[in-house]
Amino acid sequence: MKRIVILLFLLHSCFSLDLFSQSRQNPNIIVILADDMGTGDLSSYNETSQIHTSNIDKLAAEGMRFTKAHSPSSVCTPTRYSLLTGRYAWRTTLKEQVLWPWDPPLIEPSRLTLPEMLQNAGYFTAAVGKWHLGWNWPTKDGNSAKEKAGQNVDYQKPINGGPIDHGFDYYFGDDVPNFPPYTFIENDRVVKVPTVEKPDSMFGHSGLMVPNWKLEEVMPAITHKSVEIIDSVAKSGNVNPFMLYFSLTAPHTPIAPIDRFRGKSNAGGYGDYVVEVDWSVGKIMKALERNRLDENTLVIFTSDNGSPARDGTDMAGELNSVIRKYGHDPSDGFRGIKADIWEGGHRVPFIAKWPGKIPVGTESSEIINLVDIMATVAEITDYRLQDNMAEDSYDITPVLFGENYNIPLREATVYHSFSGNFAIQQDEWKLILWPGSGGWTSPVGQDSLKSLPKYQLYNMKKDPKELHNLTGDMPGKVTDLKNILSRYIREGRSTPGNPQSNAPVEKWPQVDYWMSE
């Protein structure tokens, strides 16, 4: 951790007096992003949850809990892109699914990110945990790591295109816990060179690992590293604020709770892993309190998408098995699971605490999206975003600070599924523009699709479980929502401002399906 303290000192010494004076007034910012956690996992959201999450419940009691928060995508990579850029990921080359092992970076080199924005505002920025946004892996033969399944990676060289190249002063993590290489990365280099092939008996994609690599040790390692960073910031004497992006690897597969958490829930291995998430949050909050940083720190806890509801068998389990075995529903009664365009795929917990700013013990039913974090932080730090920045991000500080406002903050909110299918919501009306769930269990083949309704329109106030399709009853509402989404795609943004461009594609089936009408 010496390099972090040194870096903090260097950052402190190079700030101008004006920036130094301004940054002292800004809060520290911690974003804790759980991986594959639904609202039904938390006892503060779901009174019938089979898991007790005391630390997260305490965070909710001391801040604001949102009941209609959404991830922009129902899978991992797109949500992470959106959170860190304020822009929907389907505007990039990634029109569906996620990045896979050895894929190159998704964030464009010229794209302003949340940590870069905060660096400009005088912050020290750190990321710990899962990255899953791609790297430029160095190779020994000049060919891409993707082509050779990573067998040609040169682990002696720096790995470019990752967190350090997108605004973070410091990074520590394992990229993706079930992707090779199975080793920790610090900044732009591996901590230890992986030298042995992962055994088939170990969960995850094939590839090299560090000898004796243990999947169970990842969550404790990244938790302790996050606490070390907070302690280091406090001990350094640096009065400038910091931002920590703590990207958890749980309760995503491999579902690998350590022994001390086994049996601590009534929802099997999955529930025990959620308890470990709760422990991690508690460690962060205690570190803030111990270092007297909690009074001027904005803490956000949320999740990248809904849960697939696996029970943890062999570090995974079948979809929805935790419901069948233990009566625990991570989607809290909403239709669908991770990857789906239905609510269970993208309705997520969202809790925010900032003492003296966010009203204590409050709840909001405002529809918000994780893509909104960037514009919100820009408002808090008085950073002026240009037209080509955070094109889909809305400032939600009026809600956070308990201000009076008369209309919804967002005109509409767009959701995206694993298969690249769209939904758009305006007030209580949600339109899905594709047959089926758009997830892992979507029907395959045109014949199967033809047997399903082309669109799904739901009144989320009267029908939150999305059981009654109203497209036949309200064709005008279908047209209105389609037009809004078409405009958002055409103009390259969903916020006011000059039109921007999306990454071009030769064919975009999910959009061509309805925009050609």
Per the prediction, the chain carries an average pLDDT of: 94
The DSSP secondary-structure symbol of 273 reads H
> Last residue of some domain: 366, 400, 434?
400
CB 88 within 8 A of CB 74: no
CB 206 within 8 A of CB 197: yes
Identify the weakest region by mean pLDDT among 175-179, 256-260, 434-438.
434-438
In angstroms, rounded to a whole number, what is the distance separating the alpha carbons of residues 149 and 297? 42
Residue 74 belongs to some domain of the structure: yes
> Same structural domain for residues 443 and 501?
yes
With residues binned 3-state (H G I as helix, E B as strand, rest as coil), the percentages for the chain, rounded to 5, are: 30, 15, 50
> Same structural domain for residues 374 and 293?
yes
Q: Is the pLDDT of residue 469 over 50?
A: yes
Q: Which two tokens stand for residue 372?
A: 């909104």
Global model pTM greater than 0.85: yes
| pLDDT tens-digit series, residues 179-225 | 999 999 999 999 999 999 999 999 999 999 999 999 999 999 999 99
Q: Is the pLDDT of residue 18 over 50?
A: no
**pLDDT confidence bin for 445, thresholds 50/70/90:** low
In angstroms, rounded to a whole number, what is the distance separating the alpha carbons of residues 430 and 61? 30
> Same structural domain for residues 98 and 167?
yes
| pLDDT of res. 311 | 98
Q: Three-state SS string across 23-74, please?
A: HCCCCEEEEEEEECCCHHHCCCCCCCCCCCCHHHHHHHHCCEEEEEEECCEC
| pLDDT tens-digit series, residues 394-412 | 999 999 999 988 889 999 9
> Same structural domain for residues 360 and 429?
no
| pLDDT of res. 124 | 97
Residue 287 belongs to some domain of the structure: yes
In angstroms, rounded to a whole number, what is the distance separating the alpha carbons of residues 72 and 313? 29
- What is residue 344's three-state secondary structure? helix
| pLDDT of res. 9 | 39
From residue 126, give the alpha-carbon distance in Å to each of 157, 168, 298, 326, 490.
Answer: 22, 5, 15, 38, 35
Q: Which domain CATH number covers 374?
A: 3.40.720.10
**Torsion angle (degrees, nearest 10) of CA 51, 56, 61, 67:** -80
Strands 124-130 and 242-251: parallel
In angstroms, rounded to a whole number, what is the distance separating the alpha carbons of residues 106 and 134? 6
> Same structural domain for residues 387 and 419?
no
Residue 339 belongs to some domain of the structure: yes
> Same structural domain for residues 243 and 312?
yes
Tell me, what amino acid is at 333?
Answer: G
From residue 421, give the alpha-carbon distance in Å to each of 97, 294, 495.
Answer: 10, 41, 21
List alpha helices for 342-462, DSSP H.
Answer: 343-346, 373-380, 397-400, 446-450
Q: Where do the DSSP E strands lie in 198-332?
A: 208-209, 242-251, 297-303
Higher pLDDT, 517 or 343: 343
What would the mean pLDDT of 463-481 be, rounded to a whole number? 98
Give 159-200 as a DSSP string: -BSSGGGGT-SEEEEEE-TTSS-BS-EETTEESS---EEPPT
Residue 360: how many CB atoms within 10 A of its CB?
11
Residue 408 belongs to some domain of the structure: no
High-pLDDT (> 70) share of the chain, % = 94
| pLDDT tens-digit series, residues 81-97 | 999 999 999 999 999 99
In angstroms, rounded to a whole number, what is the distance separating the alpha carbons of residues 225 and 172? 8
> Same structural domain for residues 384 and 442?
no
How many Cα atoms occupy the beta-carbon half-sphere of 258 within 13 Å?
Answer: 13
In angstroms, rounded to a whole number, what is the distance separating the alpha carbons of residues 336 and 334? 7
| pLDDT of res. 443 | 63
**pLDDT confidence bin for 446, thresholds 50/70/90:** low
Tell me, what amino acid is at 395?
Answer: D
| pLDDT tens-digit series, residues 369-403 | 999 999 999 999 999 999 999 999 999 999 999 99
Is cis: bond before 251, omega within 30 of 0?
A: yes
Residue 407 belongs to some domain of the structure: no
> Last residue of some domain: 339, 370, 400?
400
| pLDDT of res. 467 | 97
What would the mean pLDDT of 84-111 be, rounded to a whole number? 98
The secondary structure element, H or E, covering residue 432 is strand 429-432
Question: What is the domain extent for residue 479?
Answer: 413-515
Q: Is the pLDDT of residue 14 over 80?
A: no
Instruction: Identify how many contiguous H helices and E strands the chain contains and give both numbers.
Output: 14, 17
Q: Which residues contact 42 (CB under 8 A, 6 or more apart)?
A: 49, 51, 53, 56, 57, 60, 349
> Last residue of some domain: 358, 379, 400?
400
| pLDDT of res. 444 | 59
> Same structural domain for residues 256 and 284?
yes
What would the mean pLDDT of 452-463 be, rounded to a whole number? 95
Give 195-207 as a DSSP string: -EEPPTTSSS-S-
Residue 393 belongs to some domain of the structure: yes
**pLDDT confidence bin for 437, thresholds 50/70/90:** very high
CB 272 within 8 A of CB 265: yes
> Same structural domain for residues 383 and 475?
no
| pLDDT tens-digit series, residues 334-365 | 999 999 999 999 999 999 999 999 999 999 99
Residue 68 belongs to some domain of the structure: yes
List alpha helices for 360-434, DSSP H.
Answer: 373-380, 397-400
- What is residue 299's three-state secondary structure? strand
CB 385 within 8 A of CB 378: yes
Q: Which two tokens stand for residue 46?
A: 């779901």
Q: Is the pLDDT of residue 13 over 90?
A: no
| pLDDT of res. 237 | 81
| pLDDT tens-digit series, residues 39-62 | 999 999 999 999 999 999 999 999
| pLDDT tens-digit series, residues 145-178 | 999 999 999 999 999 999 999 999 999 999 999 9
In angstroms, rounded to a whole number, what is the distance separating the alpha carbons of residues 424 and 356? 35
Residue 406 belongs to some domain of the structure: no
> Same structural domain for residues 364 and 447?
no
Q: Is the pLDDT of residue 3 over 70?
A: no
Q: Which domain CATH number covers 464?
A: 3.30.1120.10
**pLDDT confidence bin for 447, thresholds 50/70/90:** low
Tell me, what amino acid is at 79?
Answer: T
> Same structural domain for residues 237 and 378?
yes
> Same structural domain for residues 435 and 295?
no
